[in-house]
Amino acid sequence: MTEQTQVVDLVITDAAELLTCAPEAPDLIGRLRGGGLAADGGRIVSGYRGRRVIDASGKVVLPGFVDSHTHVVFGGDRAAEYAAKAAGTSPPAGATVGITGTMADTRALSVAELVQQALPRVREMVASGTTTFESKTGYGLSRESEQRLLVANALLAEAADARLVSTYLGGHAIEPGRDPEEWTAEIIAQLPEVAGSAAFNDVYCDDGYFTPAQAERILEAGLAHGLAPKIHLDAYSRTGFAEVAARLGVVSADHLNHTSDAELEVLAEAGAVGVYMPCLDYAVAHPKPLDPARLQRAGMEIALATDVCPGCWTTSMQTAIVMACRTGGMSVAAAIRAATLGGARALGLGDQIGSLTAGREADVLVLDIPSHEHLAYRLSGSTVDSVVRAGAVVGAEGAR
């Protein structure tokens, strides 16, 4: 039996557009009119006789979305705070406000309850096309509570029809009344036990959060225990930490609202991916929304993420694409690449997922739209026809 006629697990045929998002594609998305792909053993292969076939006639096929920055595990919500801020008023007495407000709601829940609250959000993510997502801790802000969040991540990974990448974010904020240096030391002391439960070590470096000196110590300690570094950087002020972050080899630098152009170039030269979260900037009415064109001019790979969290409740990468194009001025092709290959690279997985090329995992979307431009054009509703994760159909309308 030749390679062209071998029977494989899954074949997707007759797409109106196939977007490979190949790394070197000159149009950013590797757009092919027509065609399809085959998957066997969870990976993309050559071949076209399938045990299962998805007819993609008139539809768009592209890689599964990779949501590279989420805080999807948390307790409660901040709807009262959001509504008050949108109306220009103060939150009502007793309302959950800010990171430390969510900290209290999160600590009040068991691990099982945290998973129970997070799982519907994850299912929404998968239903809208996300096949890989990062999940940060950071709402525990104590040694015991942060460890429980890591356990919740592990249980969520088992329950989700998507790949979960766990990130430790003890350096998210500081509990009110606690000495920042004491909490920094405790974060560092926890890192040896974190190493087996998380892939990344993250810290929020900004005014009112962690200083550059504290952030450097936390990231260096994580590196010593095999935790790759990430950084929440310069969301509300310029800290001057970008060059140190580049030297430490951060896989991604996220937010970047106040990072200078020269610092962006340093991060780009170091290979850091810039993570752009337009839904977050919109949700908080950020006074200085990130202009992704600045990252592009600096030569940075851009990842697009939802930043789903109590202050930015969106689970849809399609919504992030809409916002990136309309509020951020990105081309549709650039936004799609950022939501797929860019996100994969922000998680250190660019050689495994994020593009539809032979040997990569078969994480595939079939969208019921006639061309890729409709991803940004349709302002609401899901366009997903079928979701494939590692060659298995996990959400489908068009499979037969």
DSSP string, 3-24: GGG-EEEEEEE-BSEEE---TT
Confidence of residue 391 (pLDDT cuts 50, 70, 90): very high
CB 367 within 8 A of CB 60: yes
> Mean pLDDT, the chain, as a whole number?
95
Residues 333-344, mean pLDDT to the nearest whole number: 98
Share of the chain above pLDDT 70, in %: 97
Q: Is the pLDDT of residue 399 over 70?
A: no
Q: Is the pLDDT of residue 2 over 50?
A: no
Residues 204-224, mean pLDDT to the nearest whole number: 98
DSSP string, 287-341: SS---HHHHHHHT--EEE----BTTB----HHHHHHHHHHTT---HHHHHHIIII
Q: Is the pLDDT of residue 185 over 50?
A: yes
Residues 45-71, mean pLDDT to the nearest whole number: 92
Other Cβ atoms within 10 Å of 144 Cβ, number: 9
Q: What is the pLDDT of residue 264?
A: 98
Q: Of 51, 72, 43, which Cα lies nearest the Cα of 8?
A: 51
Measured CA to CA, the distance from residue 150 to residue 171 in angstroms comes to 14
Query: Which ranges in the chain are annotated with CATH 2.30.40.10?
Result: 3-63+355-396
Q: Of 162, 256, 152, which Cα lies nearest the Cα of 198?
A: 152
Residues 101-109, mean pLDDT to the nearest whole number: 97
DSSP string, 146-193: HHHHHHHHHHHHHHSSSEEEEEEEEET---TTS-HHHHHHHHHHHHHH
pLDDT tens digits along 263-315: 999 999 999 999 999 999 999 999 999 999 999 999 999 999 999 999 999 99
Q: Of 271, 354, 295, which Cα lies nearest the Cα of 30?
A: 354
Q: Is the pLDDT of residue 363 over 90?
A: yes
Report domain 3-63+355-396's class. mainly beta
The CATH number of the structural domain formed by 65-346 is 3.20.20.140
Residues 34-51, mean pLDDT to the nearest whole number: 87
Q: Is the pLDDT of residue 99 over 90?
A: yes
Pull the structure tokens for residue 346. 């922000």
Residues 315-329, mean pLDDT to the nearest whole number: 98
Q: What is the pLDDT of residue 48?
A: 67
Confidence of residue 1 (pLDDT cuts 50, 70, 90): very low
Pull the structure tokens for residue 361. 């995992």
CB 129 within 8 A of CB 63: no
Q: Is the pLDDT of residue 170 over 50?
A: yes
Q: Is the pLDDT of residue 334 over 80?
A: yes
Confidence of residue 5 (pLDDT cuts 50, 70, 90): low
pLDDT tens digits along 237-273: 999 999 999 999 999 999 999 999 999 999 999 999 9
pTM for this entry = 0.96
Q: Which residues fall within 8 angstroms of residue 134, CB to CB, at 6 or more apart? A: 67, 68, 69, 70, 164, 165, 166, 167, 200, 305, 347
Residues 142-167, mean pLDDT to the nearest whole number: 97
Query: Which ranges in the chain are annotated with CATH 3.20.20.140?
Result: 65-346
Which amino acid belongs to residue 227?
Answer: L
Q: What is the pLDDT of residue 376?
A: 97
First to last CA, the chain: 24
Q: Is the pLDDT of residue 6 over 60?
A: yes
> What residues does 310 pair with on adjacent strands?
none
